[in-house]
Amino acid sequence: MTRNKWIAAAALGALLVAGEASAADKKVVAVSIPAADHGWTAGVVYHAQAAAKEINAAFPDVEVIVKTSPSATAQVSALEDLSAGRKLDALVILPQTSEELTMPVKAVKDSGAFITVVDRGLNDPAIQDLYVAGDNIAVGKNTAKFLVDKLGGKGNLVVLRGIPTVIDDERIKGFQDGIAGTDLKILDIQYANWNSDDAFKLMQDYLAKYPQIDAVWANDDDMLLGVLEAVKESGRTDIKFALGGNGMKDIVKKVIDGDAMTPVETPYPPSMIKTAIYMTVANLVGHAPVRGNVKLDAPLITKDNAAEFYFPDSPF
């Protein structure tokens, strides 16, 4: 009886070793991202999973594993779990926070993995081999440029900003730089927490307060949805443009359809995670060196190029 058990255990052990050996032949790319808790992160999850599926199908000797984490603490644990079982050849990470993730990512780096950091930088940039991010300043600046052109450098604007963070500050700064020196005037700027409901209320209040508004800029598309509803309900005709930012599919669709009030959009695309995963894999399988900083531009999405930024199946 006891002997049989030992044989079974030995057989099982051999199987495990064999399994590990075949897995070790594959190059493992771990992708650690925040869990989907709002539109943009939902987009990140969608694009990361799409990239994993495409790459796993295209390269039999590469395995991309996507792991989502709802908080910084959970992401630290996820990194430990991912690197505990086997050796990682590369890690693509969109950190929940810079502070808490810096040391854990460094530990993965020390084990010999190639590190790609996306969107939010770590406290020590020396850890990363590749950094991929969008351009928040350009999100504000390109929107501002469009308004300056279309309004002839003159008019009254109201702005809705998100939550006090670097991302929000940079977008607002880019916008303010963009209209500097023109006669475009920001009548008001308030926080609406990147939330449609708060934006709806704030826009109603702006409309009550200012009899003449030429254009509205909500620095995120969730807020733009609330703004559009408030403008529609008020029946006001003075508002010529209501613009957003981020690249939500509903808004890109408006651009494709030639909407008069929202004819353009600026991307801060969640698909940047996909770009980062592809580049990382290129480094592993294609002998294509990719070390460095990649800043994805935020070109104005117009009717002509909107198809490139339109993902109808994405939740965002």
Partner 1 sequence: MSAVIQSAPPRRERSFAIGWADAGPFIALAALLVIGFLINPDFLSATNLSNVITRSAFIAIIAVGATFVISSGGLDLSVGSMAAFITGVTIMFMNGMVPHLGTWSVPAGMAVALFAGIACGLLNGLIVTVGKIEPFIATLGTMGIFRALITYLSDGGTIPIDRSLRDVYRPVYFGTVTGIPIPIMISLAVAAIGSFILYKTKYGRKCAAVGANADVARYSGISIIKTRTIAYLIQGACVAIAAICYVPRLGAATPTTGVLWELQVITAVVIGGTALRGGKGHIWGTVAGGVILELIANLMVLSDFVSEYLVAAVQGVIIIIAMLIQRFSK
Window of 16-24, 76-84, 193-201, 285-293 that interacts with partner 1 by CB under 8 A: 193-201
CB of 216 to partner 1, least distance (A): 14
Residue type at 143? T
**Which of the stretches 182-190, 257-265, 285-293, 295-303 binds partner 1 when contact is defined by CB under 8 A?**
182-190
SS3 assignment, position 112:
coil
| Residues from 208 through 247 that contact partner 1 (CB under 8 A) | 208-209, 222, 225-226, 229, 233-234
If one asks whether residue 54 binds partner 1 (CB under 8 A), the answer comes out as: no
Sign, CA dihedral 251-256-260-264, equals: positive
Choice from 202, 255, 276, 306 touching partner 1 (CB under 8 A): 202
Q: Which of 75, 196, 219, 262 binds partner 1 (CB under 8 A)?
A: 196
Reading phi first (left if > 0) and then psi (alpha if -120 to 50, else beta), residue 113 is in: beta
Give the shortest CB-214-to-partner 1 separation in angstroms.
19
Q: CA torsion angle for 18, 24, 25, 31 (degrees, to 10)?
A: 140
Note the helical H segments in the chain: 2-25, 39-58, 72-85, 98-110, 136-150, 166-179, 196-209, 221-234, 249-256, 272-285
CA-based torsion, 74, 197, 219, 306: positive or negative: positive
Q: Is 269 in the site for partner 1 (CB under 8 A)?
A: no
133 vs 230 by CB, closer to partner 1 = 230
Distance CA(236)–CA(163), nearest Å, equals 28
Binding site for partner 1 (CB under 8 A): 35-39, 41-43, 45-46, 161, 164, 188-191, 194-197, 200-202, 204-206, 208-209, 222, 225-226, 229, 233-234, 250, 314-316
